[in-house]
Structure 1
Amino acid sequence: MTDSDSDEFDPTAREQREIGREMVDQSTGLGSVMAHAYRGEMDEATTWRQRLDQATTWAVTVIAAILTWAFSNTENPHYILLIGIVIVTIFLGIEARRYRNYDVYRSRVRLLQQNLFANALDPSQGVEHPNWRAELSGDYRRPTLKVTFGEALANRLRRIYLALIGVLLAAWTFRITAFTPRQDWLVTAGIAAVPGPVVVVAVATFTVAAFGIAFWPRERHAKGEFREGDPETWKDSESE
C-alpha cells in the first residue's frame, strides 16, 4: 500500500524506506521532489561552508597583520599579540555558531546520500537508517540544531583554531623572551599596572582551557562523513 492509498505510514517498512529502488525502477513524483530537495540542501550546505571559510580567512589575515606589526619594531608592545588571541577567539565563536547551522544541512545531505542514493545504486545493501524518512520529515517540520555549541567549539578548535592560537602564543613567548634578552621575561610580560606573572598565569589558564574544550571526551552528535579505509579498494588495480 502506498502513501497515496492510505494515511498510515510505517517508515520502517521496506517499501517505504527503500524508495531509492523505486526511483531507479520507475519515474515517480516523489523521486523528482527528492532530487530537488537534495539540490536545495546541497546549496545550503555549500553556502554555510563558504561562511565557515570566510571566518577562517579573516582570522588568518588578522594574525598575519598582527605578527608583521609586532615584530617590525622593538618598541611595539608585546600585548598586541594577546589582543590578537582575543580577536581570533571571537572568530572562533562566530565560526562555531556557523558550524552548527552548517551541520543541519550537512546532516540532511548525508541522510539522503546514505538512504536514498546509496540504496538506488545498490538496493541489495538496504538503508542505513530504517526510520530515515520520518526523521527527515520531522526535521523539515521543525528544524533543530544537531550539535551543541560546546561540540561545535571543540570541532573548530581541533580542526583550525588551536593551530592559529598556537602561532600567536609562540610568537608572544618569543617576543617576551628572545626578542628582549636583556630584560627578565616575567617583567617584560607585564601590561601597564598588571604584573608579568599575572599575565603569564592568565595566558597559561586560557591555553589549558582551550585544550580542555578541544579534547574533553564528549558524546559526538555531528554526523560524520569520511572514514578511514583502504585507498586501493576504491579503484580496480587490475585495470590500471
Structure 2
Amino acid sequence: MGEPNDEFNPEEPDARDVAAEVAEERSEFMSLMPHYYRGEVSQMSTRLDRLDLTIDWAIAVIVAMLALSFQSTGSPPYFLLIGMFALVMFLLFDVRRYRTYDATRSRVRMIEENVFANAFDPKGSVHRDWRQKLGHDLRTPTLKVSVWEALSRRLKHIYFPLETVLVVAWLFRITAFVPKETPVETAAVPGISGEFVIVGVLCFYVATALLTFWPTTREAKGEFHGEKPGEWKVEK
C-alpha cells in the first residue's frame, strides 16, 4: 500500500477554504482573534516607531542647523534655510509613513470597537458587517487617510511648530544677531539677493500655515483630541 499523501494542494476546494470552519465556529473564531489582534498591534507599534524615528531625525537636524548658524556672527544664516528644506523632506517621509500607520491602526480600532468593547459592554452598538470589512481590507489593503489630511495633521501637531522655531531663529539671525548689517544684507545667499530670500521665506511660512490650519474633512479613525472619528473607509 502507498503512503498517504500529506502534501498541501492549494487548488483543492478544501485547501482554499482552510479557514472557513473558523468563521463558522464561534470557539475557533475567538481562539484565533487574540493572535490576529496581537499581530496587528505589533505591526502598528513598528510603524509608530518609524514615525518617531523620523521626528527624532528632524529635531536632530534642526538642532545642528541652529548650532551652526549661531556659532558666531560670521556663520552664514542660510544654514537655517537648509534646515527648513530638510524639515520639508522629513515631513514628506512622515506623511507617507503616517498613512500606512493609520491603515493598520484602523483595523486595530475596528477589532477593539466590535470585539473587546462589546465584551465589556454587550449593550453597546457594533458594526454589523465589521468582519466583512476587515476581511476586505486584509485582501485589498487600502489607505484610509488622504494626503491632505495627513499633511495637515502632521504639520499641526509636529512640523509647523518646528518650522516656526526655525523661522523665528532666522529672523533673529538676520536682525539682532548682526547689528552692523541690515537684514537684507544678512539674509542674502550667494547668487540670491536678500530681498528675494526674505520674501521667499515669508511666503513659504504663510503657505505652510494655510496648509496647517485649512479645514479638512476628518477621515482618520480612532484618535482623541475631542473630535468625532470618521467613518471606516473601504477605499481611499
* TM, length-normalised to structure 1: 0.81
Contact conserved, 2:95 with 2:147, CA < 8 A, in 1? yes
Contact conserved, 1:42 with 1:109, CA < 8 A, in 2? yes
Partner of 2:47: 48
Q: Deviations over 1:190-210 (max 9, x none)?
A: 112211111111111111111
Shift of residue 41, structure 1, vs aligned partner:
0.6
Say whether residues 1:134 and 2:132 are aligned partners.
yes
Give the count of matched residue pairs. 206
Say whether residues 1:180 and 2:178 are aligned partners.
yes
Shift of residue 130, structure 1, vs aligned partner:
2.6
Partner of 2:116: 117
Q: For residues 190 and 210 of structure 1, what CA distance do their matches in structure 2 show?
A: 22
Q: Secondary structure at the match of 1:124?
A: coil
RCO higher in structure (CA 8 A, sep ≥6):
1
Say whether residues 1:61 and 2:44 are aligned partners.
no
Say whether residues 1:100 and 2:99 are aligned partners.
yes
- Of 188-197 and 54-63, deviating more is 188-197
Contact conserved, 1:155 with 1:214, CA < 8 A, in 2? yes
Q: For residues 141 and 122 of structure 2, what CA distance do their matches in structure 1 show?
A: 29
Contact conserved, 1:110 with 1:225, CA < 8 A, in 2? no
Q: For residues 175 and 36 of structure 2, what CA distance do their matches in structure 1 show?
A: 57
Q: For residues 228 and 85 of structure 1, what CA distance do their matches in structure 2 show?
A: 31
Q: For residues 121 and 107 of structure 1, what CA distance do their matches in structure 2 show?
A: 20
Shift of residue 53, structure 1, vs aligned partner:
0.3
Shift of residue 57, structure 1, vs aligned partner:
0.4
Shift of residue 227, structure 1, vs aligned partner:
5.2
Partner of 1:235: none
Partner of 1:194: 192
The correspondence of residues 198-237 of structure 1 with structure 2, limited to 5 A, is: 198-226=196-224, 228=226
Q: Deviations over 1:216-240 (max 9, x none)?
A: 11111111332549xxxxxxxxxxx
RMSD of aligned alpha carbons? 2.0
Q: Secondary structure at the match of 1:28?
A: helix
Seen in structure 2, the aligned counterparts of structure 1 residues 92 and 227 have a Cα distance that, compared at 3 Å, is closer
Q: For residues 207 and 87 of structure 2, what CA distance do their matches in structure 1 show?
A: 15
Q: Deviations over 1:4-42 (max 9, x none)?
A: xxxxxxxxxxxx9xx9xx9xxxx7110111111111110
Where does structure 1 lack aligned partners over 5 or more consecutive residues?
1-15, 230-240
Q: For residues 126 and 81 of structure 1, what CA distance do their matches in structure 2 show?
A: 52
